[in-house]
Structure 1
Amino acid sequence: MTSTPAAGHWDSDALGVLMAPLTGTQLPEWMGEVLEAGLASVILFGHNTPDPETAAALSRAMHARSADCVVAIDEEGGDVTRLQAATGSSLPTAWALGEVDDPELTRHAGSALGDILAACDIDLDLAPVLDVSTDPANPVIGTRAFSDDPDRVAAHAQAFAAGLIESGLGTCAKHFPGHGATATDSHTALPLIELDREEFTRDHLAPWSIAPWLDAVMTAHVLVPSLGEGPASISSWSRPELDRAVSGTFHGLVITDALDMAAVAGTVGYGEAAVRAIEAGADLLCLGTSIRRDDRHMLREAHDALVAAVADGRLSRESLHARAEGTRAQCRRLRTRRRFVPAPELPAALAHADALGSDAAARAVRGRHAHLDLRPVLVADLRARADHASGARAPQLIQALAEQGVQAVVPDYPGQDAHSHQLTSAPQVLVLTRLSRSDPDEGARLSALLARRPDAIVVHTGVPDAAPDHRRLVLAHGAGRTMMRAAVDLLLRGR
């Protein structure tokens, strides 16, 4: 076994349970050394992957330094994309796939995404989402979920995972035990779900019965007092509840949600959360994104917290070593699968996903009394609340309009001045919403705008139950490139 390292050195047992971020688009030498020292996994974010070609080069560089290191990515398609963050995802949201309700289409979508990831030499996708989006005010799940119905969620998540696996990818269901029944975003605070055990089990734990068919489960930073005390990701109750949900023992990897999120880092602290996660039974600790933090310091802080816990007897060396060895064995299995399933050429994979995504989005988008002509249109984006899961939003609706030859005008202060000359004089008005029923700012701005322009068309990007009660409405089921193109096609052509 590895002894406690001197300051500045790396402990292979601690590294064996860590999924670390890195900054930039190239592999720094220090990270290469950590990979050789035994780091189990690296997670990529949008700032690492400005385009799929760059992502592929970075993944191959990491595998050259450590053949068994698992390269992971949080790539769901739809609004949550890392590989296509600059352009928008080729694929629809999970909610759009659930809306069509064709599991075979969902499987093909998973396979199309898996082909892109395989072509980029990525091993593990942190998908599918098993959350049941029962709270329309939820600011972080929403259309990332397949449905508000647990049976539909289970069917489509299993189909999507099957497609990923066909392409040689590892799968990770998230966010256990369920993040869909809260209006709090765990990126910014610790959510509390006050459902009794019977209701939570029926509506949110039920889809987790499919977990044995997947490679990993991600635990959420959520409080569910009816199940146990403390956040699921760092509390001892979560592992037994997972086994109960799968009617046996879950043998895959248990991965935490990002430990830099405020729900835990802002409560118990970053290093303490790492130790508690191991105590709670996690196999792999996702450290989060380094976009606003030093990547090496993040890894060092979590690593040193684990080493200190061993030194003071809080964690036994034997248990940490066993956890690291078990995690590495599962990582090797994921890498073996990835290497033995042939990957397509990247351009072909992207083209296939574009075609499939376009068809799926067209089948999902709905509208009523919503029609545009080719005159200029004012586009007012009233979505006030940050979407931490998808990151910064590109102007996908404006781009989709431009592709169809429609000039889009963006007001200087959308929705804040309902009497502005721009709003009054525009021949046509489109309004983007996501949480207008639950976000007071978004709701007030929408009311003011519609009082002035009742002829405006609302393009709603959230779940249908969060849509405003407005006569002229498009349900886009997401805000990504594919969904916005389908919405514009419906507006211009009625299909």
Structure 2
Amino acid sequence: MTDELRRLANAVLWPGFLGTEAPDWLLAELHDGLAGVVYFSQNVGDGLSALSDEILRANPDALIGIDEEGGNVTRLESTAGSTLPGAAQLGIVDDVEATRDSGAELARRVAAIGANVVLGPVADVNTDPRNPVIGVRSFGSDEELVARHVQAAVDGLQSNAVAACVKHFPGHGDTHLDSHHALPEISLGIEEFERVHLAPFRAAIAAGVDAIMTAHIVVPAWGHEPATLNPRVLGMLRDWGFDGVIITDALDMAAIRETVGIGQGAARALAAGADLLCIGNPTNRGEATVPDQDRRDFLAARDGILAAVSDGSLPRERLAAAAQRVTRLVETLHARAATAPPIDYDGPEIVRRAITGATADAEALAVVDARRRSTLAVDSASAYVAETLAADGHRVRLDVARTSIDEQDAVLEQAVLAEGLTVILLDRPDADDAQRSLVERVAVRDPEAVVVNVGLAARRPLPLAVVEVASASRIGAQAARDRLTGGPSRRADQTPGSAGGAD
């Protein structure tokens, strides 16, 4: 292996790493041309700006990415919860200026910690209400609505020295499997899939988006390889005139890792037309994670590239072309204005406009948190949502998937007897029969109880009043609490003399 070839391979690799400090191996590879890093929650500490400075000293051209969407998905605010609207909330409000401003504010926050690539917005059209990984991360289920908000988000993000990366091409919205754990296959008719799910990506390209992230999904009409490894699928982007960077979704996700493996996945993704390989979050293996998992995953990807160049399955020219596209993105970011014009941004107001449903004037809330467990992509069951909603009131976590009916009923009795309005916190009232059954049993005990739903809006009526929040975030939980206690954001929405009620 020549030094030149190793540096060429490094130029297309984008690893995660363990800890809040840059490990020695990472700094050494950055000095040797590594494309950059991706921040995940375990990297976010008080010294994040200093960490970015250290990375940029090692490689001034480093791309520092962060999986920051607002709403359910946040790394910068992973401890306390996002204070930005989520995509579904923005779609409900349907004010493209609000979406553009939210993108600009997100870019400002990301630039402030020294990062320069936002892995967002989500361009998926969420047409399957069972979808376990997209849901309220999408602007909605209508392709035209999603397309116009994707364009607005891209405009806002790229108003600063930050690149937007729309995801997950060609569309992850019609799946009911999570590609972190399996390889989803799209069963939708191909004509409908192309009409609905490709539209927001075309809109993003028209808006001048810098990067597009692939999905680990199979569309049988286009072949039996996942899109990340499928030259026909990735070639569509070039056919549409997109000349930016194609970024893979994380190669350590089960859809790739447990099928072809990280090394072969890296080589085949490049051969298919990808330019920058997101290796992923080294904590994703859970208890199986070893102390040097980050370096192991990085070396697996690089070794796979080098082996493929050696055996001819990956032309060196393709590798060089990918590296050149990454270089052009870096040059674009260096040339882009480092400071965006100030905006008059009011995230709480946007969230308040998105929330619908019941209102009350309760003195206290007794919260039963019955949401599903968190996934690798979305920490939807984080305690901060229930903590914010309950404040100093009664709060209990209830995993309806792992507890008996008798155990659940005992928890419900305690909540009903506690001080304040009983609140059942849900995220899948249509897709999770256990959550719906819980609500039905609460309605018998306490007909005045209220459901707070932070997932997709319930299509089937529930036997209790519902507050539809559309985001598992701190800002959403606070707005829901205000709505049920007559707090500040609800009072701002009341005209003199008006009374609370459903809307």
Is the structural similarity TM-score above 0.5? Answer: yes
1:363 aligns with 2:353: yes
Structure 1: how far apart are the matches of 2:304 and 2:272?
A: 15
Give the C-alpha shift of residue 358 in structure 1: 0.8
Give the C-alpha shift of residue 466 in structure 1: 5.6
Structure 1: how far apart are the matches of 2:459 and 2:257?
A: 30
Report the counterpart of residue 408 of structure 1 in structure 2: 394
Amino acid at match of 1:304: D
Structure 2: how far apart are the matches of 1:81 and 1:139?
A: 17
Q: 2:100 aligns with which of 91, 107, 112?
A: 107
Q: 1:260 aligns with which of 252, 259, 272?
A: 252
Aligned residue pairs: how many?
Answer: 472
Change (3 A) 1:72 1:335: farther
Give the C-alpha shift of residue 462 in structure 1: 0.8
Give the C-alpha shift of residue 413 in structure 1: 6.8
Per chain length, whose mean CA-contact separation is higher, i.e. which structure has more relative contact order (CA < 8 Å, sep 6+)? 1
CA distances 1:31-51 after superposition (whole Å, capped 9, x unpaired): 11100101112100011013x
Give the C-alpha shift of residue 10 in structure 1: 8.1
Q: 1:399 aligns with which of 376, 387, 391?
A: 387
Give the C-alpha shift of residue 461 in structure 1: 0.8
Structure 2: how far apart are the matches of 1:232 and 1:388?
A: 20
CA distances 1:71-108 after superposition (whole Å, capped 9, x unpaired): 01111011100011111111011110111111011111
Report the counterpart of residue 273 of structure 1 in structure 2: 265
Q: Is the 8 A contact 1:437 1:468 kept in 2?
A: no
Change (3 A) 1:295 1:30: same
CA distances 1:449-471 after superposition (whole Å, capped 9, x unpaired): 44433332110111114675234
Q: Is the 8 A contact 1:70 1:123 kept in 2?
A: yes
**Structure 1 portions without partners, runs of 5+:** none
Change (3 A) 1:304 1:333: same
Q: Is the 8 A contact 1:436 1:468 kept in 2?
A: no
Q: CA RMSD in A?
A: 2.3
Percent of residue pairs identical: 39
Give the TM-score normalised by the residue count of structure 2.
Answer: 0.88
Q: Is the 8 A contact 2:251 2:266 kept in 1?
A: yes
Change (3 A) 1:205 1:487: same
Give the C-alpha shift of residue 142 in structure 1: 0.8
Helix, strand or coil for the counterpart of 1:458?
strand
Superposed, 1:190-209 pairs within 5 Å as 190-209=183-202
Structure 2: how far apart are the matches of 1:402 and 1:138?
A: 28
Report the counterpart of residue 475 of structure 1 in structure 2: 468
Structure 1: how far apart are the matches of 2:63 and 2:340?
A: 16
Report the counterpart of residue 86 of structure 1 in structure 2: 79
1:285 aligns with 2:273: no
Report the counterpart of residue 115 of structure 2 in structure 1: 122
Superposed, 1:44-55 pairs within 5 Å as 44-50=39-45, 53-55=46-48
1:433 aligns with 2:426: yes
Q: Is the 8 A contact 2:250 2:277 kept in 1?
A: yes
Structure 1: how far apart are the matches of 2:127 and 2:172?
A: 9
Structure 2: how far apart are the matches of 1:271 and 1:286?
A: 12
Structure 1: how far apart are the matches of 2:195 and 2:142?
A: 10
CA distances 1:231-266 after superposition (whole Å, capped 9, x unpaired): 11111221223245xxx3210000011111111212
Structure 2: how far apart are the matches of 1:412 and 1:161?
A: 38
Report the counterpart of residue 409 of structure 2 in structure 1: 418
Give the TM-score normalised by the residue count of structure 1.
Answer: 0.89
Report the counterpart of residue 187 of structure 1 in structure 2: 180
Change (3 A) 1:413 1:387: closer
**Structure 2 portions without partners, runs of 5+:** 494-503
Change (3 A) 1:372 1:34: same
Q: Is the 8 A contact 1:430 1:457 kept in 2?
A: yes
Q: Is the 8 A contact 1:40 1:331 kept in 2?
A: no
Change (3 A) 1:135 1:62: same
Give the C-alpha shift of residue 342 in structure 1: 2.5
Report the counterpart of residue 299 of structure 2 in structure 1: 300
Helix, strand or coil for the counterpart of 1:95?
helix
Structure 2: how far apart are the matches of 1:63 and 1:483?
A: 35
CA distances 1:143-195 after superposition (whole Å, capped 9, x unpaired): 11111111111111111111111122101110001011111111111111111
Structure 2: how far apart are the matches of 1:419 and 1:453?
A: 14
Q: Is the 8 A contact 2:374 2:381 kept in 1?
A: no
Change (3 A) 1:106 1:412: closer
Q: Is the 8 A contact 2:150 2:204 kept in 1?
A: no
Structure 1: how far apart are the matches of 2:459 and 2:267?
A: 38
Change (3 A) 1:160 1:318: closer
1:215 aligns with 2:210: yes
Structure 2: how far apart are the matches of 1:156 and 1:65?
A: 37
Change (3 A) 1:467 1:156: farther
Amino acid at match of 2:350: A
Change (3 A) 1:438 1:150: same
Helix, strand or coil for the counterpart of 1:287?
strand
Change (3 A) 1:178 1:412: closer
Change (3 A) 1:306 1:479: same
Give the C-alpha shift of residue 419 in structure 1: 4.2
Q: Is the 8 A contact 1:260 1:289 kept in 2?
A: yes
Helix, strand or coil for the counterpart of 2:37?
strand
